[in-house]
């Protein structure tokens, strides 16, 4: 037993780094709803976005700031414009934090600061970057006392230089200093040593909280984060379901449950209400369109299922034989509450509320109508059906294309043919096409109708619940100008779900380019 417990600050970056996952763009309402759920979950810091990257990002951070009681932070490169945009977005936050960063490894310096205006030799460039970091922190401090600095690619940054830059930003007023393993390159014991070594080199380190932000390129993000905590880090940056750039970030649920389940090994605790993990995970998956692998630790469908006879027998005799934590401790529902066509609006509203969705009266009318449609087609409506309905509902404002009509002709002895009618900004587009199968025919008809080339890079369909009448959920990812968009469609008819998913992805693409979001958020100045 450990005498004194130390709180680990949980910094959630689902809405920022998580949203940088390919195709995962979230609209403002979705961000607000996820932020509400993150508060319920008890995270200490919500990183809500990168305001300088687009007006939509700015708006989303503003809305999250206005509502949240947790610390809300926004990312800014180490330049005045970004910091000003971050502050503009955060100014209504009850506890605002500006998070500014700059690349510090030689690889980043060579790649991003190659121009002579940053200096000619590596030594000169390093000095320029150090000065930029200090200036950024000093400037951010003019807006708020709570300023975080990140040394991007710290995992591969020369340790002596890293210590120097950290000492300088702390002296300039940074209250949190983040050591990101941006490329997921480090090894747990190595990363732990890095943190311990900084504690011995940086004379003023006690004046700031040391944070870590680990990416998962080698599958080590959680292990690296835990090792860092053992060696002096006290804030951990992570995301729900581990989503984020490339292979993602350290998964929040895994870090939190590892700390909780193995509390015999350390004296840390978090403020996370672990029973909210499951709902949060499902909401993030629904809104981002990124499905959770079945064997994902803590929140995957199989995380608590026992298949083999030996395991099942062991579980019946004593759950501890094959279970290190109880499913209910992470909020996995033990009994399934089922709604049906006779369920009223009140029942629907309270079920949605239990799943983390706040539905106000006007919206409830719309959602209820959709619910009744589904309940008419399938007798029982499960939680997962409601989640996909809500996911669909929330994406609607961005669905610039409406599927008015779909006719499919398909069978063992006929050529699959599809006819679609789509409305878009008051115009009607109608076309037919044949294809290799009904979905292919449908996608070709959509492409013909809208005069576009095929942009589909991935397509999948699955049923949201068991049973023949289950809702079908289709996911379509498209790519244009190096940006990916995920569309999701839901229906008891999987061809219709597929058409809707494609149209939704096209709608998101249009929204993106119309709003002048010219680039995905890239790390660096």
Residue 144's binding partner out of Zn ion, ligand KIV, none, with CB under 5 to 8 Å set by partner kind: none
Q: Specify burial of residue 116 (Cβ count, 10 A radius: 0-12, 13-18, 19+).
A: exposed
Question: Distance (Å, rounded) from C-alpha 60 to C-alpha 509?
Answer: 18
3-state helix, strand, coil in the chain (%, to 5): 45, 20, 35
Measured from the CB atom, the residue of 101 and 485 that comes closer to Zn ion is 101
What is the arrangement of strands in the sheet containing 427-434, beginning at the earlier edge strand? 402-411, 414-424, 427-434
Measured from the CB atom, the residue of 20 and 484 that comes closer to ligand KIV is 20
# binding residues, Zn ion (CB under 5 A): 1
Kindly give, in sequence order, each residue whose CB lies less than 8 Å from that of residue 410, ignoring residues fewer than 6 positions away.
Answer: 416, 417, 437, 438, 441
Position 17 contacts Zn ion (CB under 5 A):
yes
Residue count of the chain, please give it. 525
Measured from the CB atom, the residue of 181 and 447 that comes closer to Zn ion is 181
Of 262, 265, 151, whose CA–CA distance to 202 is shortest?
151
| Alpha-carbon torsion angle 518, 148, 298, 69, nearest 10 | -90
Largest CA distance in the chain: 78
Applying CB under 6 A, among 19, 152, 276, 496 the residue interacting with ligand KIV is 152
**Least CB distance to ligand KIV at residue 152 (A):** 4
Only segment of 176-184, 262-270, 279-287, 481-489 that touches ligand KIV (CB under 6 A): 176-184
Question: Distance (Å, rounded) from C-alpha 377 to C-alpha 447?
Answer: 30
Measured from the CB atom, the residue of 152 and 383 that comes closer to ligand KIV is 152
Contact set for ligand KIV, span 205-224 (CB under 6 A): 213, 215
**Least CB distance to Zn ion at residue 231 (A):** 20
**Least CB distance to ligand KIV at residue 45 (A):** 12
Measured from the CB atom, the residue of 79 and 291 that comes closer to ligand KIV is 79
Measured from the CB atom, the residue of 395 and 523 that comes closer to ligand KIV is 523
Strand partners, 402: 423
Distances (CA, A) of 102 to 293, 336, 393, 488: 33, 48, 38, 35
**Least CB distance to Zn ion at residue 129 (A):** 18
Cα atoms in the Cβ-side hemisphere of radius 13 Å centred on 14: 33
Position 444 contacts ligand KIV (CB under 6 A):
no
Only segment of 54-62, 178-186, 189-197, 318-326 that touches ligand KIV (CB under 6 A): 178-186
Contact 303, 36 (CB under 8 A): no
Position 304 contacts ligand KIV (CB under 6 A):
no
Question: Distance (Å, rounded) from C-alpha 381 to C-alpha 352?
Answer: 12
> Binding pattern to ligand KIV, positions 67-106, x when CB under 6 A?
--------x-------------------------x-----
Measured from the CB atom, the residue of 17 and 385 that comes closer to Zn ion is 17
Only segment of 16-24, 171-179, 271-279, 311-319 that touches Zn ion (CB under 5 A): 16-24
Distances (CA, A) of 213 to 35, 79, 107: 19, 21, 19
**Least CB distance to ligand KIV at residue 469 (A):** 43
Applying CB under 6 A, among 23, 49, 180, 242 the residue interacting with ligand KIV is 180
Residue 152's binding partner out of Zn ion, ligand KIV, none, with CB under 5 to 8 Å set by partner kind: ligand KIV
| Alpha-carbon torsion angle 407, 413, 415, 418, nearest 10 | 10
Question: Distance (Å, rounded) from C-alpha 91 to C-alpha 71?
Answer: 12
Judged by the rule CB under 6 A, the positions of this chain that interact with ligand KIV are 17, 75, 101, 150, 152, 178, 180, 182, 213, 215, 523
Judged by the rule CB under 5 A, the positions of this chain that interact with Zn ion are 17
């Amino acid at each position: 037993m450990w005498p004194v417990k130390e709180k680990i600050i949980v910094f959630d970056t689902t809405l920022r780094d998580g949203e940088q996952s390919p195709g995962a763009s979230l609209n403002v309402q979705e961000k607000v709803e996820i932020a509400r759920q993150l508060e319920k979950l008890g995270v200490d810091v919500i990183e809500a976005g990168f305001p300088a990257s687009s007006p939509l990002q700015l708006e989303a951070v503003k809305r999250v700031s206005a509502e949240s009681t947790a610390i809300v932070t926004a990312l800014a490169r180490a330049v005045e414009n970004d910091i000003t945009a971050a502050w503009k977005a955060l100014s209504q936050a009850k506890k605002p934090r500006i998070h500014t960063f700059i690349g510090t490894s030689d690889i980043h310096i060579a790649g991003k600061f190659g121009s002579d205006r940053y200096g000619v030799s590596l030594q000169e460039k390093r000095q320029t970057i150090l000065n930029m970091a200090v200036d950024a922190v000093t400037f951010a401090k003019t807006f708020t006392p709570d300023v975080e600095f990140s040394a991007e690619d710290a995992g591969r940054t020369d340790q002596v230089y890293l210590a120097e830059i950290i000492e300088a930003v702390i002296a300039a007023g940074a209250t949190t200093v983040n050591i990101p393993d941006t490329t997921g390159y480090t090894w747990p014991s190595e990363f732990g040593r890095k943190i311990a070594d900084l504690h011995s080199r940086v004379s003023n380190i006690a004046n700031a909280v040391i944070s870590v932000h680990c990416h998962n390129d080698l599958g080590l993000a959680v292990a690296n984060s835990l090792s860092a905590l053992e060696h002096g880090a006290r804030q951990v940056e992570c995301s729900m379901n581990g989503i984020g750039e490339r292979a993602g970030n350290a998964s929040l649920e895994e870090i939190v449950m590892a700390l909780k389940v193995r509390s015999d090994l350390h004296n840390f605790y978090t403020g996370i209400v672990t029973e909210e993990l499951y709902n949060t995970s499902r909401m993030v998956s629904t809104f981002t369109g990124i499905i959770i692998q079945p064997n994902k630790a803590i929140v995957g469908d199989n995380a608590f299922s026992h298949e083999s006879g030996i395991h099942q027998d062991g579980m019946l005799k004593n759950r501890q034989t094959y279970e290190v934590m109880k499913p209910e401790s992470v909020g996995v529902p033990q009994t399934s509450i089922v709604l049906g066509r006779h369920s009223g609006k009140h029942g629907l509203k309270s079920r949605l509320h239990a799943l983390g969705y706040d539905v106000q009266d006007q919206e409830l009318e719309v959602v209820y109508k959709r619910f009744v449609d589904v309940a008419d087609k399938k007798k029982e409506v499960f939680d997962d059906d409601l989640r996909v309905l809500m996911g669909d509902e929330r994406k609607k404002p961005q669905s610039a294309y409406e599927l008015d009509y779909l006719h499919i002709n398909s069978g063992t002895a006929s050529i699959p043919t599809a006819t679609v009618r789509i409305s878009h900004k008051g115009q009607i587009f109608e076309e037919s096409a044949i294809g290799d199968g009904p979905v292919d025919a449908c996608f070709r008809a959509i492409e013909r109708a809208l005069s576009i080339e095929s942009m589909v890079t991935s397509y999948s369909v699955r049923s949201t619940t068991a049973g023949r009448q289950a809702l079908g959920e289709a996911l379509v990812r498209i790519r244009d100008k190096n940006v990916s968009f995920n569309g999701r469609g839901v229906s008891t008819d999987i061809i219709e779900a597929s058409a809707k998913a494609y149209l939704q992805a096209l709608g998101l693409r249009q929204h993106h380019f119309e709003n002048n979001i010219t680039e995905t958020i890239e790390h660096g100045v």
